[in-house]
Structure 1
Amino acid sequence: MENHKPSKDLFVPVEREEEEQHEIGRPSLSFWKDSMIRLRKNKAAMVGLVLLILIAFMAIFGPYMNEYTANEQDLGRAKIPAKVEGLGWLGMDGTLSTVEEGETVEDAQADALARFKNDEENTEINVLSDGSDGGQARVEAIHDPYAAKDIENNFWFGTDGLGRDQWTRVWEGTRISLYIALLAAAIDMVIGVAYGGISAYYGGRVDNYMQRFIEIITGIPNLVVVVLMILIMDPGILSITIALVITGWIPMARIVRGQVLKLKSQEFVLASQTLGSSDGRVIRKHLVPNVMGLIIINTMFTIPSAIFFEAFLSFIGLGLPTPQASLGTLIDEGFKSLQIYPFILFWPALVLSILMIGFNVLADGLRDAFDPKMRE
């Protein structure tokens, strides 16, 4: 079989300018740019970010969207359900309903009317079962409190037991809860990064003493420390923030310490020290930036924990004093009327749940984006 060799004339080098030979075909991709690209590909993290931005926007501007103030009381409009034009299909039609049972239809109807102070004029009765099948008679009562109390304006989230507008109070409470959580997380980050970085960088006896101090604080139950601080200081935003900060910085300090211990013997750190950089400059310019990814991730997990802990303190009566509102105090007020007026609890609990889910899925997305092991 005859062997055909390709002619050398088929291979002609492509003419290129001198500048083009040294031109980079693909732009350089830094660690932060690569992380942001992978974060944008995470749909759950993006949904969480959008929800957080939306809630933050409403916390800032929501209380100014109607004419009511957070502490404006009017017992004549107390415990009014939410009513929004066009959203009746979502249950926001401004009515209250109940289902009652009795031996006869008349007995069930009497119990249902008693639930709404025997207001027959503004209560619609629907018979679900007349008891002819041998069971209990069941009726459904639908009451219109807006018509009963001659209320013309709509309350988008309803009102609480003192007639205060829930829309305004929920968003002002969200603002205060976010403020406390963000402030506590920022202070935790500053103290934790400084403490952990100094402890790991100097090592030896300094690290030993600083870690023993952390172990002493950790040995005291967190709730005991928080309760003592709140009892010593006057209840308020400052006391809750300090209570959250007392032990909240310890996880950050431990994470930073572990990372700095691995980085301080690297060549770039030794080169900086050889060139005469001070210890403070080495920590600020070389060690902390290389741990920034973990710092951001841990801070994002700290914020929902602080929000939940503040809500927990307010729920057990150690939170903000009345009439100040936070998500915890609003949930506490709604819990007292849960069986009869569940809508008072529903809205602050919904906002709190969205905040917790949003921060956690965003923190998960940041963790996956900053972790080199998660690259495809």
Structure 2
Amino acid sequence: MELKIQTLSFKHCLFFFTFQVVVAFFFFSATFQGKVKPDDIFVTDVPSKPEEPVKIILLWTWPFGTAFPLNQCPSQFDGTGCFFTVNRSLYSEAAAVVLHSRDVCSSKNQLPQMQRPPNQYWIWFTMESPSHNPNTGFMEKLINLTMTYRADSDIFTPYGWLERHDGTENVSIPEKTKLVAWVVSNWNPNSRRVKYYGELKNHLAVDVFGNQRLPLPREKHIETLSKYKFYLAFENSIHEDYITEKLWHNALASWAVPVVLGPTRANYERFLPPDAFIHVDDFPTAKGLADYLHALDKDDNRHKQYFYWRRSLKPVAPARLNSHYCKVCKAIKEAPSYRTVPSITNWFK
């Protein structure tokens, strides 16, 4: 019995050996005749295309000392191929260094002091207006790219924008029980907005929130402002494209019609439909504006016309600065020929 099993095993081995020889013969014959390509067999031996080196983007400081998640770009901003960091030890390897103006403006010593690597981009970033950006003179001939709310910046970072939607968005206006609100923290009696308010309040009741005025808890910001039909989106200084969160967040997020004081109506219309806001310059006097708002308050149909644009558009106001920084990645990958901005002071005014 045992001998029989061994005999059978030998026969089986002989059979499989013969079978393998035959298969090998036909396989290599086909290869020789060009029917099977060597790359089909040894595909793992073909070297893959090397990936582009990761571009390091160094945030020289957290803006105003406020940290936020890095390397977590929103879906609409492509952050692939870039690595964001605040680790200054990576300075010599960084493709770009982002300098937040207000955090480095007090002294040139706050800028990087190490030898600058060839073709490293220094990016000047600010969301403040020229009126609140001091000491730009010592940055002359040091900056390669600008990153601001101005539309002509190398990296455009507006406070908000409009996006199209498919028409399924809910455009029902929240119930409004109050008339006009204004949130102000920087009360400068010599500013145009405070002077204008001084005239307006003689003809129109305005609820003013802010320092030493009506309290407005952060967690109830939008909930509170949503009760008002109109919001005074008055900018603290008047400059091209300087249209801030006062409009994009305070007014539009609370479904209040913005009453704007800032750049010209034509400038606003570069970013908003003409019937999305009311401009103080549309009226010769503050009393004229007050009379118009009182008339709208009594006419629901005319008031609703300021919301028709929402049937196809929705406002977007990023809550964090990471969306602005994420734009640096695309800008660096598509940057024009390396150059230096001659004068930040002359450009940003």
Place the TM-score, normalised by the shorter chain, in its bin.
Answer: under 0.3
TM-score normalized by the length of structure 2: 0.21
TM-score normalized by the length of structure 1: 0.19
Compare the two structures and name the one with the higher strand fraction.
Answer: 2
